Amino acid sequence: MMRRKSREIRLGSLRVGGDAPIMVQSMTNTDTRDVDATVAQIGRLVQRGCEAVRLAVPDEAAARALRAIREASPVPLIADIHFDYRLAIAALEAGLEGLRINPGNIGPREHVDAVVDAAKAHGAVIRVGVNSGSVEKSLLQKYGGPCPQAMVESALNHVRMLEARGFYDTKISLKSSSVLDSLEAYRLLAASCDYPLHIGITEAGGLLRGTVKSAVGLGILLHEGIGDTLRVSLTADPAEEVTVAYEILRALGLRRRGPEIISCPTCGRTEIDLFALARAVEERLAGSTADIKVAVMGCVVNGPGEAREADLGLAGGRDKGIIFRKGNVIRTVRGQDALLAAFMEELQLLLKEKESA
């Protein structure tokens, strides 16, 4: 995989683009005016590995809450602003490290200029976010609809407004709910500039559909070397977005975070309640940052192969199950309940060792 060469910019203390790790972002879905709820959700996102969080700032009351949220957040924050340029300036004054704007809906050029000048003065990053619904009328007429070419031209026109003020700390996103349009748009954009790109499939859907669409769309782009930051959009708890983002990056060998869990799909040879066992392991490891590989397999025929490869592995059988630690058999246990208890005991031990290492 050859990563596209992009300009490196800084979101607070974080490097974005260049050869920096591909950054995982998410967005809160709490009412930004509710400082406690928003800070608590940021905390949950960060616990899952989220590295920057975007917040909607729909009105002045939300803007007033930003200073307290900024003070409590351990990661850089990005204000999502539409229509009112004064909210963007308020967010910068509150210390937020980034803005996500669509200059096309901020109003007259002098308002855009005021936002860009303020971002420059505060050392903040601006993400120009274009989606298929926000393409200007003139481009819709020129191209006959919000096609990938229209989205790219819209984004580059907006970026030129920032460049005209001497501003280059820009990221760009082009979002469509169509995977194929997103691919085409990002490929075109990637070839047209060297700004870091934030990738995502917008309005992707619930946990299952959204995960599949995002994995396909973002997976293809990342494999082509496109994408410096990413967000998986799900109609679900935003913490799930972070977990899915890391699984996509892990599948491509781009980043690792937290445990890798391997479980077989079960078949006619399965002799234990593997679903319950796998669920118990997933629940125990939810939110864990331990770099371990755990395998739960349903039989003693094909299971031991995978189980042996893991830090902790189980090959379950009706009469007896085998527990492996780093390739060695450490326990042979009779009975499903005893097997689950023994495996969870060993998992606990492994996690403790990793914590104290």
Distance between CA atoms of residues 256 and 254, nearest Å: 7
Check binding of 336 to ligand SF4 (CB under 6 A).
no
Q: For the CB of residue 313, give the shortest distance to ligand SF4 in the complex, in Å.
A: 11
The count of other CB atoms within 10 Å of the CB of residue 237 is 16
List the x/- string, 266-305, binding to ligand SF4 by CB under 6 A. Answer: xx-xx--------------------------xxx-xxx--
Nearest CB to ligand SF4, comparing residues 157 and 302: 302
Segment near ligand SF4 (CB under 6 A), from 29-37, 78-86, 259-267, 322-330? 259-267
Give me the torsion for CA of 52, 55, 57, 62, rounded to 10°: -110
Distance between CA atoms of residues 255 and 11, nearest Å: 19
Check binding of 265 to ligand SF4 (CB under 6 A).
yes
Nearest CB to ligand SF4, comparing residues 99 and 295: 295
Check binding of 319 to ligand SF4 (CB under 6 A).
no
- The Cβ-side half-sphere exposure at 119, using a 13 Å CA radius, reads 31
Check binding of 223 to ligand SF4 (CB under 6 A).
no
Q: For the CB of residue 297, give the shortest distance to ligand SF4 in the complex, in Å.
A: 4
Check binding of 251 to ligand SF4 (CB under 6 A).
no
Check binding of 180 to ligand SF4 (CB under 6 A).
no
Segment near ligand SF4 (CB under 6 A), from 34-42, 84-92, 103-111, 264-272? 264-272
Cβ–Cβ under 8 Å, residues 191 and 174: no
Q: For the CB of residue 276, give the shortest distance to ligand SF4 in the complex, in Å.
A: 14
Cβ–Cβ under 8 Å, residues 52 and 11: yes
- Of 23, 33, 28, residue with least CA distance to 62: 33
Nearest CB to ligand SF4, comparing residues 232 and 272: 272
- Amino acid in position 204: A
Nearest CB to ligand SF4, comparing residues 144 and 265: 265
Q: In sequence order, what DSSP letters do the residues of 185-251 get, joined into one string?
A: HHHHHHHH--S-BEE--TT--SHHHHHHHHHHHHHHHHHTT--SEE----SS-HHHHHHHHHHHHHH
Nearest CB to ligand SF4, comparing residues 254 and 280: 280
Cβ–Cβ under 8 Å, residues 94 and 62: no
Q: For the CB of residue 306, give the shortest distance to ligand SF4 in the complex, in Å.
A: 7
Nearest CB to ligand SF4, comparing residues 256 and 318: 318
Q: For the CB of residue 33, give the shortest distance to ligand SF4 in the complex, in Å.
A: 50
Check binding of 264 to ligand SF4 (CB under 6 A).
yes
- Amino acid in position 211: T
Nearest CB to ligand SF4, comparing residues 301 and 349: 301
Size of the site for ligand SF4 (CB under 6 A): 12
Nearest CB to ligand SF4, comparing residues 90 and 315: 315
- Of 308, 322, 316, residue with least CA distance to 336: 316
Q: In sequence order, what DSSP letters do the residues of 69-124 get, joined into one string?
A: HHHH-SS-EEEE--S-HHHHHHHHHTT-SEEEE-GGGS-SHHHHHHHHHHHHHHT-
Distance between CA atoms of residues 197 and 19, nearest Å: 13
Nearest CB to ligand SF4, comparing residues 140 and 262: 262
Q: For the CB of residue 274, give the shortest distance to ligand SF4 in the complex, in Å.
A: 7
Binding site for ligand SF4 (CB under 6 A): 264-267, 269-270, 297-299, 301-303
